[in-house]
Amino acid sequence: MPPEPVAVLLDGTATAKQIRLELKSEVSALLQEKGIVPHLAAVLIGEDSASQTYVSMKEKACRQVGMTGSIHRLPSTATQAEAEALVRGLNEDPAISGILVQHPLPKHLHEPAVLDCVSPNKDVDGIARMSLGGLINGEPAFPSCTPAGIIELMDRYGIEIEGKHAVVVGRSIILGKPVAMMLLNRNATVTICHSRTHNLGDFTRQADILVAAVGRAELITGDMVKPGAAVLDAGYNRVEGKNHDVGDVHFESALRVAGYITPVPGGVGPMTIAILLRNTFNAARGRVGV
């Protein structure tokens, strides 16, 4: 019997490592030529332990490529005015290249209003409304990190986007909507599905490029995937009894149908910080006009 077909794995860990290597030498060149070290300022409001871990990871990642990072904390009782004032102060600091407001913010704060305080030329997370507006216009703002990581992964594996039918499952402002817009800007024909979509499989089975951005463990099974499709799974779901997170795609069944697929972990996830670092580097470069 011939062996069952198996999709090419889109290795986000290796790709992110490669991007960081490239950045390390670019950061070193920027220092030599312009005397500048890109700096990422992270705003952390409250005591959410996952947020603390993410922010520390981002700061460490900065150091690994020769950039610097700092964490600016406020207690969970911070007022809207205090949060906004902190961000505005960071905008004014010429030593800071990029600002990241770690979300989620405590519930009493109006997150979009805090994000809107980030100056567009420092919004390296790319999720403030100005940046998202720029994305809709097709202008080169800083792209939001996870969506841009998904596109970069496809580019680095030579997956064609133009003219393809891309189906995005999920429409959040940080993931589903921006990735759909990026695919549209790259001339894909885009369908967006969400929790009110009827017969999800009827749509996903038409996808040459299938992006899962849902947050429901293994929602998309192999029989919902078009043979040969590129499957990009952004989901991270904790499942009882498993020692690692699982994606929104049922990996084992989709692996035998898809042409390309991201594993979870090790697919889309590692790309996010790599793009954040690159955005921060580009922000620093932009400030000195190179």
Residue 237 C-beta: closest distance to ligand NAP, Å: 6
Residue 187, burial from CB neighbour count under 10 angstroms (0-12, 13-18, 19+) = exposed
- Count CB atoms within 10 A of the CB of residue 57: 11
**Tokens for 54?**
């993410």
Q: x/- contact string, 119-158, with ligand NAP (CB under 6 A)?
A: ---------------------------x------------
Tell me if residue 58 is catalytic: yes
Stretch that binds ligand NAP, among 2-10, 73-81, 173-181, 223-231 (CB under 6 A): 173-181
SS3 assignment, position 255: helix
Size of the residue set binding ligand NAP (CB under 6 A): 26
The reply to whether 197 sits near ligand NAP by the rule CB under 6 A is yes
Residue 141 C-beta: closest distance to ligand NAP, Å: 19
- Dist CA 114 CA 104 (whole Å): 11
- Dist CA 202 CA 170 (whole Å): 15
- In sign, the C-alpha dihedral spanning 44, 83, 122, 128 is positive
For ligand NAP, the binding residue among 108, 194, 242, 244 (CB under 6 A) is 194
Active-site residue (options: 11, 102, 164, 226):
102
CA-to-CA dists, residue 257 to 205, 226, 227, 232, 267, angstroms: 11, 7, 5, 13, 18
CA-to-CA dists, residue 121 to 20, 141, 164, 212, 280, angstroms: 22, 8, 32, 30, 10
Stretch that binds ligand NAP, among 17-25, 103-111, 208-216, 223-231 (CB under 6 A): 208-216
Active-site residue (options: 11, 122, 123, 125):
125
Which of 174, 132, 129 is closest to 149 using CA atoms? 174
CB nearer to ligand NAP: give 36 or 175. 175
For ligand NAP, the binding residue among 182, 232, 234, 284 (CB under 6 A) is 234
CB nearer to ligand NAP: give 86 or 167. 167
The reply to whether 216 sits near ligand NAP by the rule CB under 6 A is yes
The reply to whether 13 sits near ligand NAP by the rule CB under 6 A is no
Which amino acid is residue 88, in one-letter code? R
- Residues labelled as active-site residues: 58, 102, 125
Residue ranges binding ligand NAP (CB under 6 A): 146, 169-172, 174-176, 193-197, 200, 213-216, 219, 234-237, 268-269, 272
